[in-house]
Structure 1
């Protein structure tokens, strides 16, 4: 969904009494948190109202303004903004967006916040100047020390099982891969991109070390496991699945293959292979 349609669906319910330009500006302010500093220049104040009207009509894309505010976007702020609306309005919002996204009366604030955040994120990427994803709150995907310990223990068990299974002879191509930026590979979903990036950053070295140690003791080459993962990814890709669907299917495949019940740890493994190039292809620029 583009911003124009998003704004036009919201305007009758959240923008009563506001002109199109006023409403669009208020929408942007409803999802950003700017620094409380006298030296900070508010990028929204410098936008002409005529430009906001063009954003609303769809005559002008929001790429440039999205690029300027993307690092300050916070889906929780917009979630609270929608949450303040009464039950009747939230029901109407649900009905308005139901033809376009999976949404229910129970999750209207969360779904709209995720959607708006993703619209801004994708528009900022189209600007063509960003090399990284927007900054995340430090605690958005934060794992407690207990979580990390449990995940690392499960990672060791999962990797041992993966190495034991080896690879299918038909999958015996050798891979010469190197780690790449996750945002260069996941373009369908900013939420998935953030999650995979977090797991890759936190656990990449740990997984590399575990694979190295387990491979030595089992006389199995890491490339054998990587090839099997690549083969499974190709099968899913050929089915025409979305990146979210492929990722979830890969997580389930790891769980099944290793008899693991720790979905988070299996997600970490898949995220590792995303960055290591076995899962998802680099988008050509």
Structure 2
């Protein structure tokens, strides 16, 4: 295997090739190629994939301990049951989203969710506040805390990655459906808790 390290002398190498930071799952055929016939380009491609996986893992660990108010489950569950004909569309333009979200695909998805669900979620949060004062603010604070932790950790580079990480966190904390979590996070983008 010494010849392989000579061929790859200009690339980053792991101190311990069997460490979790260096291991990546490959099929048998690809593993054999990597062991005996890899090129610098192939090695760097796998290295970059592994680095991205490690950043995602670290980003998830950064926010794993953050909690959110359990009442958010009421809002998430209500989203799963709502009849779309009952929704009141947003009556003003979602400027916060348009000004803050750079990625056009992410912006379009958030705008769609905000336009369709913003007023409904706002009413649901107001109902939570009538039951116990300040619940919506505590939920907003938790979402904002998750966003800030991801933003300042510098592990994730794009708004899409940060959005996805917050959705993943919310889903893991609530066992809510992914799309319902995307709708909730979109609501908080419009309300200036995210981005």
Please give the TM-score of this superposition, normalised by the length of structure 1: 0.35
Q: How far does the alpha carbon of each residue in 1:84-119 deviate from its partner, in whole angstroms, 9 at most, with x for none?
A: xxxxxxxxxxxxxxx9xxxxxxxxxxxxxxxxxxxx
Once superposed, what is the RMSD of the aligned Cα atoms?
A: 2.4
Could you say which structure has the greater relative contact order, defined with CA pairs below 8 angstroms and 6 or more residues apart? 2
1:101-139 Cα distance to aligned partner (Å, 9 max, x none): xxxxxxxxxxxxxxxxxxxxxxxxxxxxxxxxxxxxxxx
Q: Deviations over 1:183-220 (max 9, x none)?
A: 20011x10000000000010000000000112221333
User: Which of residues 202, 208, 212 is equivalent to 2:122?
Assistant: 208
> How many positions carry a matched residue from both structures?
108
Match of 1:251 among 137, 147, 167: 167
Match of 1:193 in 2: 107
In the alignment, structure 1 segments of 5+ residues that lack a partner are 1-98, 100-152, 160-178, 281-285
TM-score (norm 2): 0.50
Are 2:72 and 1:157 aligned?
no
Unaligned runs of 5+ in 2: 1-44, 46-72, 80-93
**Rounded Cα–Cα distance in structure 2 between residues aligned with 1:181 and 1:216:** 27
C-alpha distance in 1 between matches for 2:107 and 2:77 = 26
Point out the structure with the larger helix share.
2
Cα separation, 1, equivalents of 2:114 and 2:135: 21
4+ residue runs over 6 A deviation:
none
Q: For residues 154 and 224 of structure 1, do their structure 2 counterparts lie closer, same or farther at Cα, with a shift above 3 Å needed? A: closer
Residue in 2 aligned with 1:278?
193
How much has 1:156 moved relative to structure 2?
4.4
CA contact (8 A) 1:156 1:210 kept: no
